[in-house]
Chain A
Amino acid sequence: SQQGEEDPQALSIQEGENATMNCSYKTSINNLQWYRQNSGRGLVHLILIRSNEREKHSGRLRVTLDTSKKSSSLLITASRAADTASYFCATGATGANSKLTFGKGITLSVRP
């Protein structure tokens, strides 16, 4: 059962621009996480935001969470060609030992 749904499916921007990616989900969560995947590699964890948090920053990344709308956004500021990758949101449902459920991902291309 796929919980997170990312939007858009693909995004192409110029280096230096900001990239905004969105994720919506259906059921209650205790946290939401964003991951990056470079072509042909495993996923790398970027940032985790808990259900009682509204915004979190890490370097050029800013994540927001709106639990009333069941949505999150990931903003990458001042994008670089090296940010070209697929980005996934993953939701952790409430309850002990819950597993993460991933969306289908967003393909971000940053043109030099």
Chain B
Amino acid sequence: DVKVTQSSRYLVKRTGEKVFLECVQDMDHENMFWYRQDPGLGLRLIYFSYDVKMKEKGDIPEGYSVSREKKERFSLILESASTNQTSMYLCASSKAGTTPLHFGNGTRLTVT
């Protein structure tokens, strides 16, 4: 089975801090994604990547950046955390195109 591992289940950070959310997948998937999930808003795509060192903006990239130096690892970076970035962050991977996504268990980030 594909395993997508997010480094933290819960994180509490202060406003203005630089925050790194790490995601690792073990099935050699080309595609990796970062979503955030908020009540009443569903899942919204932040960034995605189809290959190493490649990234594309999703629907809500403002305030975020990403890094994909190795195929199995996709990092989400909050350059200067703000309270409106308090959310559940979900990482996912897939083989190609619009094949099924495999999700990690999420990181619940609180920015105070």
Which of B14-22, B41-49, B71-79 contacts the other chain?
A: B41-49
How many angstroms from the CA of A62 to the CA of B4 in the assembled complex? Answer: 27
Q: Are B102 and A45 in contact (CB under 8 A)?
A: yes
Q: Collect the chain A residues with CB atoms within 8 Å of residue B35's CB.
A: 102
Q: Which of A42, A97, A99 contacts B4 (CB 8 A)?
A: A42
How many angstroms from the CA of A103 to the CA of B45 in the assembled complex? Answer: 12
Q: Does A60 contact B (CB under 8 A)?
A: no
Q: Are B104 and A42 in contact (CB under 8 A)?
A: yes
How many angstroms from the CA of A105 to the CA of B99 in the assembled complex? Answer: 20
Interface size on B, residues (CB 8 A): 28
Q: Collect the chain A residues with CB atoms within 8 Å of residue B42's CB.
A: 2, 88, 102-105
How many angstroms from the CA of A103 to the CA of B35 in the assembled complex? Answer: 13
Q: Does B59 contact A (CB under 8 A)?
A: yes
Task: Tell me whether A99 and B45 are in contact in the complex, defined as CB-CB below 8 angstroms, given that A1-B59, A31-B98 are known contacts.
Answer: yes
Q: Does A41 contact B (CB under 8 A)?
A: yes
Q: Are A100 and B106 in contact (CB under 8 A)?
A: no
Mark contacts of A41-55 with chain B using CB atoms, 8 A cut-off: 1 yes-contact digit, 0 otherwise: 111110010000000
In the assembled complex, the CB of B2 is this many whole angstroms from the nearest CB of chain A, namely 10
How many angstroms from the CA of A2 to the CA of B58 in the assembled complex? Answer: 12
Mark contacts of A1-43 with chain B using CB atoms, 8 A cut-off: 1 yes-contact digit, 0 otherwise: 1100000000000000000000000000011010100001111
How many angstroms from the CA of A102 to the CA of B45 in the assembled complex? Answer: 9
Which A residues form the contact surface with B (CB < 8 A)?
Answer: 1-2, 30-31, 33, 35, 40-45, 48, 88, 90, 92-93, 96-105
In the complex, 12 of the A-B residue pairs with CB atoms within 8 angstroms, ordered by the A residue number, are: A1-B59, A2-B42, A30-B97, A31-B98, A40-B108, A41-B106, A42-B104, A42-B105, A43-B92, A88-B42, A97-B50, A102-B43
